[in-house]
């Protein structure tokens, strides 16, 4: 007896790599993909495939994953203190597990925001890319101690917060 065709299916792992079209409603026959027959794939969640990416993969795929339970050696918090039509004020707070002697924080504005005045750091902008460096009086920062700086800026259509920051070229959480 032949099974009815399935409109969608799970990725099938074989010697050629992964093929198929993953979806939230996919079902896999027994023996393909290691699932029980009739078991529905869970809906969107941490194991759901990313949306907007090609679902056809040729050969092995490697995605770097940070070690579980290992915290980032630094933390950056972007706080929009206030916002008004066409403008905003923000504070950036940096904490590092290691002592800093001079520091540089980099980020990219997602919506074309422009830096106006800044305090407690020297802030430069080149297009969407922003670099803040330590003020002379804030160069030395002990380990696990926060240092903050602030600025005003302008925005036109949107004012979303930056998604990623680096401290001295290293990604921060």
* Fold topology of 74-172: Immunoglobulin-like (2.60.40)
Q: What is the pLDDT of residue 71?
A: 64
- Residue whose pair of structure tokens reads 């993909």 in the numeric block: 33
- Residue whose pair of structure tokens reads 């050696």 in the numeric block: 73
First and final C-alpha spacing in the chain: 54
> CATH 2.60.40.290 in the chain, residues?
74-172
- pTM for the full predicted model: 0.60
Q: What is the pLDDT of residue 80?
A: 97
Residues 6+ positions from 135 with CB-CB distance below 8 Å: 120, 121, 122, 149
Q: Tell me the HSE value of 88 on the side-chain side, using a 13 A CA sphere.
A: 21
Q: What is the pLDDT of residue 132?
A: 99
Q: What is the pLDDT of residue 111?
A: 97
Q: What is the pLDDT of residue 173?
A: 83
Count other C-beta atoms under 10 Å from residue 159's C-beta. Answer: 19
Residues of the chain with pLDDT under 50: 6-68
Q: Percentages helix, strand, coil for the chain, rounded to the nearest 5?
A: 0, 40, 60
């Amino acid at each position: 007896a032949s099974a009815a065709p399935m409109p969608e299916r799970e990725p099938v792992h074989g010697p050629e790599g992964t093929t198929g079209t993953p979806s939230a409603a996919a079902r896999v026959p027994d023996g393909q993909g290691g699932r029980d027959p009739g078991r529905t794939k869970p809906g969107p969640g941490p194991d759901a495939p990313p949306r907007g990416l090609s679902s056809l993969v040729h050969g092995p795929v490697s995605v770097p994953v940070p070690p579980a339970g290992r915290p980032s050696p630094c933390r950056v918090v972007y706080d929009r203190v206030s916002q008004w039509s066409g403008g905003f004020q923000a504070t950036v707070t940096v904490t590092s597990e290691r002592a800093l002697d001079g520091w540089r924080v980099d980020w990219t504005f997602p919506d074309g925001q422009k830096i106006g005045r800044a305090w407690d750091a020297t802030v430069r902008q080149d297009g969407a890319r922003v670099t803040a460096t330590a003020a002379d009086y804030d160069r030395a920062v002990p380990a696990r101690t926060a240092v903050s700086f602030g600025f005003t800026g302008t925005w036109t259509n949107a004012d979303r917060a930056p998604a990623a920051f680096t401290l001295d070229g290293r990604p921060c959480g």
